[in-house]
Amino acid sequence: MKDEAGTVQHTSQDSQVRMRQPLLNLRSKMALSFGVLCAVILILVSGLRTFGLPWTSDQGSHGEAQDLVLRQLSLLADLSKERLRLWLGERESDVTALAQNKIVVSSAKRLSEITQRDADEGLTRARLRADLMEQDSGKALMEALRAVRKTHKAYWKIQVADARQGVVIASTDTRELGTPLPCRQLLAGTLDHAGKVSVIVAKSPVNGKPFAALSSAILDRSSLQDVEPTTVIGVVVVYAWVDRLIRALYYGGESIGKTEDIVLVNRDLRILTTLKYPLPNGSPAVPLEYRIEAEPARLAAQGKEGLMVSRDYRGVPVLAAYRYIEIAPSYGWGLVVKVDRNEMFAPTWRRLFQSSLISLLGVLAAAFMAALIAGRIARPIRDLSLVAQQVEAGNLDARAPVVRLDEVGNLALTFNSMIQRIGNWHRELEEQVKSRTLRLTELNEELTEKVVERKRLIRELESKNAELERFTYTVSHDLKSPLITIKGFLGYLERDTASGNLERVKADSARIQGAVEKMGLLLDELLELSRIGRVMNSPREVSLTKIVEDAVETLAGRISDRGVALVIADELPVLYGDAARLREVVENLLDNAVKFMGNQSQPRVEIGVRRSADGTVVYVKDNGTGIDARYHAKVFGLFERLEQSTEGTGIGLAVVKRIVEVHGGRIWVESQGVGHGSVFCFTLPEKNKNT
Amino acid sequence: MNGEPLIILLVEDNPDHAELIVRSFEEHRVANKIIHVSDGEAALDYLFQRGVYADEQSSPRPHVILLDLRLPKIDGLEVLKEIKASKDLRRIPVVALTTSESERDMMGAYNRHVNSYLVKPVDFGKFGKLMDDLGFYWLAWNRKPLCEPSEGGPQDSPEEA
């Protein structure tokens, strides 16, 4: 029982769960998780839209854009290639037409002969020039060349050179007449492939600008029918600036992007055209000197064609289309049309960024909505939690508010009924604990009473034991004494009678007689003493006045004999106890007072009552012999007599003491000493407290 | 026995017992003089020569004290304690002569340096014999220092176990 009560107490105190503040409240959690969920979905969707579904043909907008750009590049590359070929074709036909022109052929033939002659004669270049200038045919040819250059803005110079000497025999620039043809390999190539056009790109020694030179052989047609093989008279070379060529490459319409660039390289990967962007080191690339290492250019120069995503000469990622342009058999140029990937994908990224921005707004909206909904859901739960905290703190009267009749409302209702039940249990338990505690207290009090009672009994037993010991001692001593007397004097008696000495027989017999009587008296009184406490009349209310009157009556003779003046108080209390025994007490004390008057001339005994801390004290006061302080305790001892002379066995006060103590009272003597009289006092407990 | 009269102080409240003891001593001629007092107060008064015993001539120091333990007024043990506490008296052999065989009395007496503890025999013959032996032992055999008053030191008061 105690355990049960104890446990309940314990639980309600120790299980004080401290409410831990969560890192995020429900609302934030909801908002966060919704936000994260939406963000993930949106990122996934836009990612899929942009980059396509993995392991499927869906490439997403990014892939599509790339495809589109590559297609456009491819188209552009084809176009450029076509335009370049067209341009080259035009130049070829121009130069071929020139080479086959009758005037050119005849003039060249004539001029070639002059040149041959001058060379044979060892004439100087100036002489040769003058000779050539002089010739009508020369003039005509130069006129024709000038006309051609005028009509075809593409050329900055047209030359005709002698095939054998390699010397310019006609030119749009007359200063060059007689000078060797600058590009010897051109001459050689043209001569090797007579009837075909040779193309080379070189740098102008004058301004360093690259130019393209196209040459065609001038054949002597007049002897075509009979002379085999045909003789090559000379070559026609037309010079065009490369930037002209570039212009030709560009399609006049819109470009794909700002970063779009067309790069033309020769077999050695040296660039033929200028580049749009400077090199990584900051300097512009010099045509015919800078060698491009980029993959598309390399592939194109190797004669391959295709599309690719790669890096260009700057190291910038690009989308590129590369083409091979065959100029002569086993000789061609690489064409690369490229555009920066970043520029191409910029719209895609922009779209992605925009859609991300919109998504973010959506996410925020979703989170906000989630927080709103969570708040609506959480508020009743929080209220419930607060109530639960109150209940936990011990307020079992707290009730959760039921706002809505939804799940939370039901929870609140259930919770309320649960608290109600817990409250009931709690009250029941408390009542049980209370009643059991009360019972325990009662039992404890009972036990304490019992213990106290037991202690009292033990004390009583101890005092009884001590008393018994004293009693035995006294008996052994005081009863032996008369025996010794009897035996001793009987011995003398025997001896005296035997010897006939009868002198002291009578006295000795008297001594024996006295001892025997004394013994009898002792035995009687011992018996009497042993009866006190064992044999008692049932206690009742007794008037002390009555008792005193009785005692005085009994001792009337002795009192009057000694002429003792007796003073008895008017108002004596009513005592409670054994009437006969109490009378014995008063009688004994009165008798003693009268007996030990000594030689007092005006003997006086006073019986009265006084109040003290102990309660009512009854006293018997005399003006007799008095008692020395040393003997105040001893007078109450068994068989104790202060004076040998007076009669009695010394049992009287012992009896009185015993009676008073049996009644639960106390007795003592007050005396200033011998000659000052004595006061015997005793207390008796009030009615209800007695034994 | 020397010529000096031998004095016994008998402290006994029972007159019959006192008579028996005196007769026994007389019969065996044990002592020259027996002084009998019947209570403890009187015994101390005699020994300290107070009151009626103030005269040194009529109340000489006893050679041995026979002390009953159960006495009116001042108890025998109390008397013994005072004797043994006194520088003048403690050398006087004190023989407890009592009816009590109680362990408590015996212990009390020996704790207060009694010189001998004797229980009065009930048998007449034994009583006489004890008195005879007692007198002879303490007054004849037992030796005591001669020069009495000077020896105030704590050293000796001849005793027997």
* Cross-chain residue pair A481–B14, CB shorter than 8 Å: yes
* Cβ A412 vs Cβ A380: under 8 Å: yes
CB of A492 within 8 Å of a chain B CB? The answer is: yes
* Region of poorest pLDDT, from A240-249, A432-441, A546-555, B20-29: A240-249
For residue A62, the tally of other CB atoms under 10 A from its CB is 18
* Cross-chain residue pair B128–A491, CB shorter than 8 Å: yes
- Interface A-B, measured as beta-carbon pairs within 8 A, has a size of 71
Burial letters for A536-568: b for 16+ Cβ neighbours within 10 Å, e otherwise? beebeebebbebbebbbeebeeebeeeebebee
Residue of A644, A651, A653 to mutate, testing the B interface (most B Cβ within 10 Å of its Cβ): A644
> What was the pLDDT predicted at A235?
85
| Highest-confidence segment of A141-150, A435-444, A542-551 | A435-444
Average pLDDT over residues A476-483: 82
Query: In the predicted model, what is the mean pLDDT of chain A?
Result: 81
* Cross-chain residue pair A490–B20, CB shorter than 8 Å: no
Query: Where does residue A632 rank: exposed (0-12), middle (13-18), buried (19+ CB within 10 A)?
Result: middle
CA distance to partner chain B, nearest, from residue A568 (Å): 31
Residues of A in Cβ contact (< 8 Å) with B128: 491
* Cβ A496 vs Cβ A502: under 8 Å: yes
What lies within 8 Å, CB to CB, of A442 at 6+ separation is: none
Residues of A in Cβ contact (< 8 Å) with B72: 640-644
* Region of poorest pLDDT, from A29-43, A136-150, A179-193: A179-193
CA distance to partner chain A, nearest, from residue B132 (Å): 15
Residues of B in Cβ contact (< 8 Å) with A641: 72
Question: A433: which 2 tokens?
Answer: 């604990």
pLDDT-above-90 percentage for chain A:
7
Nearest alpha carbon to residue A532 among A488, A582, A494: A582
What lies within 8 Å, CB to CB, of A44 at 6+ separation is: none
Nearest alpha carbon to residue A639 among A456, A472, A417: A472
Alpha helices by DSSP H, A176-259: 184-192, 242-249
* Cross-chain residue pair A641–B72, CB shorter than 8 Å: yes
Alpha helices by DSSP H, A626-666: 652-662
Q: Tens digit of pLDDT for each residue in A565-600? A: 888 888 888 888 888 888 888 988 888 888 888 788
Residue of A481, A499, A505, A517 to mutate, testing the B interface (most B Cβ within 10 Å of its Cβ): A481
Q: What's the rounded Cα separation, in Å, for the pair A647 and A591?
A: 12
Give the ipTM. 0.84
| Cβ-nearest to B70 among A477, A483, A489 | A477
A478: nearest CA partner in chain B: B99
Nearest alpha carbon to residue A336 among A264, A421, A273, A237: A264
Q: Tens digit of pLDDT for each residue in A106-135? A: 888 888 888 888 888 877 778 888 877 888
* Cross-chain residue pair A484–B38, CB shorter than 8 Å: no
* Region of poorest pLDDT, from A346-355, A513-522, A615-624: A346-355
> What was the pLDDT predicted at A478?
77
CA distance to partner chain B, nearest, from residue A488 (Å): 5
Q: What's the rounded Cα separation, in Å, for the pair A551 and A585?
A: 9
Residues in a beta bridge with A200: A213
A491: nearest CA partner in chain B: B124
A362 φ/ψ angles, rounded to the nearest 5 degrees: -60, -45
Residues of A in Cβ contact (< 8 Å) with B43: none
Identify residue B29 by its one-letter amino acid code: R
Average pLDDT over residues A306-322: 86
Distances (CA, A) of A227 to A136, A218, A224, A559, A628: 27, 15, 6, 212, 196
Average pLDDT over residues A377-397: 80
Average pLDDT over residues A606-621: 86
Residues of B in Cβ contact (< 8 Å) with A497: none
What lies within 8 Å, CB to CB, of A669 at 6+ separation is: A627, A632, A635, A636, A678, A679, A680, A681
> What was the pLDDT predicted at A222?
60
B125: nearest CA partner in chain A: A491
CA distance to partner chain A, nearest, from residue B96 (Å): 14
CB of A473 within 8 Å of a chain B CB? The answer is: yes
The radius of gyration computed from the CA coordinates of chain B, to the nearest angstrom, equals 15
| Cβ-nearest to B16 among A473, A515, A634 | A515
pLDDT-above-70 percentage for chain A:
90
Q: What's the rounded Cα separation, in Å, for the pair A224 and A205?
A: 38
CA distance to partner chain A, nearest, from residue B114 (Å): 19
CA distance to partner chain A, nearest, from residue B144 (Å): 32
* Cross-chain residue pair A644–B13, CB shorter than 8 Å: yes
* Cross-chain residue pair A489–B99, CB shorter than 8 Å: no
Average pLDDT over residues A71-77: 85
Question: A642: which 2 tokens?
Answer: 């202060």
Would you give per-residue pLDDT tens digits along chain B (161 residues)?
445 678 899 999 888 999 999 988 888 776 678 899 988 888 999 999 888 888 888 888 898 999 998 887 788 899 999 999 998 898 999 999 988 888 888 999 999 999 999 999 988 889 989 988 888 888 888 888 765 554 444 444 444 33
pTM of the entire predicted model: 0.43
What lies within 8 Å, CB to CB, of B147 at 6+ separation is: none
> What was the pLDDT predicted at A13?
45
**CA A555, A558, A559, A560 torsion: positive or negative?**
positive
